[in-house]
Amino acid sequence: MPGIAEIVRQRLSVKSNQLHLPAWYYFIVLILLGAAFFPATSHFFAHTGRRWLYILVLAFSFSGLTTPIFRLLARHWRLVDNPSGHNIHKEPTPLLGGAAVFLGFFLPLLINGIFSREFGAILFAATILFVLGVLDDTLNLKAHLKLIVQVVLALALTFVGVRIVLVPETALFGSIVNCLFSVIWIVGITNAMNFFDGMDGLAAGLAAIISFFLAIVALQMGAPFVGWASVAMMGACLGFLPYNFRPGKRALIFLGDAGSTTIGFVLASLAIYSDWADLKPVVSIFSPLLIFWILIFDMAHITLFRVIKGKTRTFQEWIEYVGHDHLHHRMARVLGGSTQSVLFIYLLALCFGLSAILLRNAHQPSEAFLLLSQALIIVVLVSILEAVNGNKRS
């Protein structure tokens, strides 16, 4: 069996326009990465309050440079997503893009010495979930098995302090309630992000937007650790995105279930890593909900309509059901294409993220109510658009 170096050499002999991005992209990434490793560079960013930018450059560079390597390895190991009735792509596409994103996420944080007990737990749990995702991409594991592992990992995080605190934990009941909500939140967001990995660029782009707003809100709260970790995830997703979102062309590589579930798991964990409240209960509850609103809305929508239409009657049927009724599928039918759908969802996520930032600065309950009403109106307008288009088609 040839080694990795031989695999890369053989693959690089193929025409670059079949496998890679333009040479100038790699040139820029190499320049950024090289400059970042100069001691004077890290010293400058660390002492000028711009460590976030240093982490962003590292994450982007690591992800951008390792994605084609993992693409070659995925092809060699036959870790590809073949066309089927549930997939919209027409050619086998390599997986393992999530490995590049995962490396791009945690390497910059470790290089900068950004580590804690809670982050170690998140990283360990995410690694287990990533390995499980690779096995799922290869062996197509049962849905209930994956769900059990996700629940166990989420529950483990609550014991090291990564949990929502909505109820005072002065008694055992409060701790149980907070742990329960935390597990539901982490597992729900993890699977919702996986559901959105159904069109080129959608999951990675949406994760980058969510990470961006998580970073801003974290810095508003004075929680630099969450901010740096969110910036690292944003940079890693952006470094991967040019390989995955190529309007008019097919994706060169997919995140795979390993990538999408791991990204969702990490983002959900970061969202409850520290206190959002600042003594404002409304802010504590609704700020993260607005940032993740697209994922939550889609999960709620498909659950409601699948039950109403009788497509799923049991929990087992619900977790195993695969269909084209997610938000990105519905918007593709309305707008006339997958690229339009992806860009539309990007804009929706930006709108909700901006609302979350404004909500942080709401001084009166009435101001928070107006922002939440605006988010609800946007969802209603999207639903009306879908309904009108559906009636026209029928």
Q: What is the DSSP letter of 273?
A: S
Phi, psi (rounded to 5 degrees) for 145: -65, -45
| pLDDT attached to residue 33 | 82
Q: Are 57 and 36 within 8 A, CB to CB?
A: yes
Task: Report helix, strand or coil for 6.
Answer: helix
Residue spans per domain, the chain: 22-275, 279-394
pLDDT digits (tens, 9 = 90+) for 293-317: 999 988 888 888 888 887 877 777 7
pLDDT at 9 over 70: no
The conformation of residue 163, written as its DSSP 8-state character, comes to S
Tokens of 341: 């759908």
Count Cα atoms within 13 angstroms, Cβ side, for 314: 4
With beta carbons less than 8 A apart as the criterion, state whether 162 and 273 touch: yes
DSSP string, 35-60: HHTSHHHHHHHHHTT-HHHHHHHHHH
Give the mean model confidence (pLDDT) for residues 74-78. Answer: 90
The 3-state DSSP class for residue 81 equals strand
Output the pTM of the full model: 0.89
Q: pLDDT tens digit string along 281-292?
A: 566 677 888 899
Rounded to 5 degrees, φ, ψ at 93 are -125, 130
**Tokens representing 204?**
């990675």
Q: With cut-offs at 50, 70 and 90, classify the pLDDT of residue 280.
A: low
User: What is the Cα–Cα distance from 288 to 356, expressed in whole angstroms?
Assistant: 7
Q: Could you read off the pLDDT of 326-376 as tens digits, one per residue?
A: 888 888 888 888 999 999 999 999 999 998 888 877 767 777 778 888 888
Residue 393 burial class via C-beta count within 10 angstroms: exposed 0-12, middle 13-18, buried 19 and up: exposed
